Structure 1
Amino acid sequence: MTDEMNALELDALQEVFNVGVGRAAASLSMLTNEPVSMSVPVIHILSPQRAAEFLDPRHDQNLTSVSQHFNGSFSGRALLIFPSINSLEVVRLMLGSDAPAEQLSEIEQDAMSEVGNIILNACFAIIAEMLNERFKCQLPTFSTGYISDILKPSMSEKQVLILQIRLGLENHKIEGFLAFLLGNESQTSLHKAIKLFLSNVEA
């Protein structure tokens, strides 16, 4: 899809997600009472295998993922991913720094699902607003495993679109990222939505 998009369209796509992640970062900051930094979104069009290599080059990290399927004029799966050790720290920050580790192990799944739900929905809200789209989102799903396991439901696609946005909790050096996985048809639909967005801006 990047071959079909011109530079202006790619800039517009990055800006839409930049605004969405800005709202998500603010939500994460409120949840954890920590300053949150974020990077400018970077777009990658990769095969599922290359995507796995990109997200974890050594394929040896145990990752925590909150994924959410969404449907609309373009559909796909959004992911919030942290190394598992960092996800425990995020939960600890949500509950208060005195929360014991043995309690975190029991409530990590629910707490991280809530983190993912709030952050991903913050992104969807601004994307829907800026592109004049509507999305129906399923409940978030929590999982742990290697990156190949997390991406496995998308392995049948010839390509996936990854919008890489790194979120850092500054005082604790915690870093995770968001990825949006789209199939080929949805990439085409997203391209059309970006074209319409630009035509409305220029009008």
Structure 2
Amino acid sequence: MTTPLSLNEVEEDAFKELFNLSLGATAATLSEMVDAEIVLSVPSFSSPSPRSLLVQIHQLFGDSIGLVGMRYQFTFPSERVVPGMAVLLVRATDLCLFLEALHGDAIPVEMIGQIEADSMQLAGDVLLYTCASSLSALLESDIDCQKPFFFRGDPEALSIQLGLEEQDESQELLMLRVDFLMTGKGVTGALLTWMDGDGLPFLKTEIDHFITTHMS
């Protein structure tokens, strides 16, 4: 699929490498939080429309998901801005296992509803910020992150939470995804990050800069 920036093969590889490097720090942080090895898949690159992104999430995780998301914004010199979103996804049926891994102990079923939002937002605050800030450092940009939000329910209801209802359906997103497994915890999930808007051409410039300074 042609990306909204028409990235060539070298630029796509560089973008994946940037994401892969930021994920190293994220996986290490998550491993410490849950006291387990985190196995990551190879990052995949795509350029979905807002609607097709929701369809992908539904296909991956079914009718019920647990999600924590964080909006961020990269700012480059001359006030060039690239907005984005980082998302941690698990199946809602795995939320209890995820929370138990975070807390290091079994959680009574009747307590899950009371602690899941706060616990997932706290996890998102650490993990998603680690991912976004590591990527920002590699791109040599400033970063501004909003407070993470928690969502549990049908992916069809996600559009407003993820800011996708504001996106022109003809405008493709620039997205990277990696799947993860918490060894011995029975939890699988995915980490997604995408960028959008008028700032995307600036991102291409910064990817080319990364290639020149780090991959030549």
When normalised by structure 2's length, the TM-score is 0.86
Paired letter, 1:142: F
Query: Does the 8 A contact of 1:62 with 1:145 survive in 2?
Result: yes
| Structure 1 residue 3: Cα displacement | 6.0
In structure 1, C-alpha distance between the alignment counterparts of 2:63 and 2:155, rounded to whole Å: 8
Q: Does 1:54 align with 2:56?
A: yes
Q: Is the 8 A contact 1:2 1:10 kept in 2?
A: no
Q: For structure 1, list consecutive stretches of 5 or more residues without a partner in the other structure.
A: none
- What does the per-residue CA deviation read over 1:1-58, in whole Å, with 9 as the maximum and x for residues that have no partner? 3662111111110011001112111111111111111112111101112112222228
Superposition deviation, residue 141 in structure 1: 0.9
Aligned to 2:104: 96
The 1:18–1:77 alpha-carbon spacing in structure 2 relative to 1, beyond 3 Å, is same
- Equivalent runs, 1:1-203 vs 2, <5 Å: 1=3, 4-57=6-59, 60-72=62-74, 73-152=81-160, 153-155=163-165, 156-157=167-168, 158-201=171-214
**Structure 1 residues 99, 174: CA separation in 2 closer, same or farther (over 3 Å shift)?**
same
Q: Would you say the 8 A contact 1:67–1:78 is kept in 2?
A: yes
Determine helix, strand or coil for the equivalent of 1:168: strand
3-state SS of the aligned residue for 1:142?
strand
8 Å contact kept, 1:159–1:184 = no
Q: How far off its partner does 1:195 sit?
A: 0.9
What is the SS of the residue equivalent to 1:75?
A: strand
- State the SS of the aligned residue for 1:185: coil
Q: Are the aligned partners of 2:175 and 2:192 in contact in 1 as well (CA < 8 Å)? A: yes
Closer, same or farther: CA 202–93 of 1 in aligned 2, 3 Å: closer
3-state DSSP of counterpart to 2:82: coil
CA contact 2:66–2:95 (8 Å) conserved in 1: yes
Relative to structure 1, is the Cα distance of residues 200 and 53 closer, same or farther in structure 2, using a 3 angstrom cutoff? same
Cα 1:182–1:123 shift into 2, 3 Å: same
Kindly tell me the number of residue pairs found equivalent between the two proteins.
203
Question: So what's the TM-score if we normalise by structure 1?
Answer: 0.91
Displacement after TM superposition at 1:117 (Å): 1.2
Percent of residue pairs identical: 22
Which digits, 9 at most, give the CA deviation of each residue in 1:112-143, with x for residues without a partner?
11111111111122212211011100111111
Aligned-pair RMSD on alpha carbons?
Answer: 1.9
The runs of 5 or more residues in structure 2 that have no matched partner are 75-80
Are residues 40 and 71 of structure 1, via their aligned partners in 2, closer, same or farther at CA, if it must alter by over 3 Å?
Answer: same
User: Alpha carbons of 1:88 and 1:202: their partners in 2 closer, same or farther (altered >3 Å)?
Assistant: closer
